[in-house]
Amino acid sequence: MSNDTLLRILRRHTRAPTEPLNVVGIDDWAWRRNYRYGSIVCDLERRCIVALLPDREMATVEAWLADHPSITVVSRDRGGGDGEATARALPNTMQVADRWHLMENASGAFLDAVRCVPACKIGSDAFLMTISFTLPRSIVPEEDPAWHAHTFAF
Q: Greater confidence, 1 or 144?
A: 1
Burial class (CB in 10 A: 0-12, 13-18, 19+), 107: exposed
Q: Is the dihedral of CA 21, 8, 6, 32 positive or negative?
A: negative
- Digit-coded pLDDT (tens) for 79-95: 768 888 999 999 999 98
The whole-number pLDDT of residue 63 equals 93
DSSP for 86-111?
Answer: HHHH-TT-EEEE-HHHHHHHHHHHHH
* Rounded alpha-carbon distances, angstroms, from residue 147 to 7, 32, 92, 93, 103: 33, 35, 17, 14, 19
Q: Say what percent of the chain tops pLDDT 90.
A: 18
> Does pLDDT of 141 surpass 70?
no
Q: Greater confidence, 145 or 57?
A: 57
Q: Which residue ranges form the domains of the chain, and what is each CATH number?
A: 3-91 (3.30.420), 98-154 (no CATH)
* Rounded alpha-carbon distances, angstroms, from residue 86 to 15, 94, 117: 22, 9, 39
- Digit-coded pLDDT (tens) for 27-64: 888 887 888 888 889 998 888 889 888 888 889 999 99
The whole-number pLDDT of residue 69 equals 92
Residues 33 and 29: their CA atoms lie apart, in Å, by: 9
Residues 58 and 39: their CA atoms lie apart, in Å, by: 10
Beta-bridged to residue 27, according to DSSP, are: 40
Stretch 113-142: mean pLDDT: 54
Mean of per-residue pLDDT scores for the chain:
75
Beta carbons of 113 and 131 less than 8 angstroms apart = yes
The whole-number pLDDT of residue 66 equals 94
The whole-number pLDDT of residue 64 equals 92
Confidence of residue 139 (pLDDT cuts 50, 70, 90): very low
Q: What is the CA radius of gyration of the chain?
A: 19
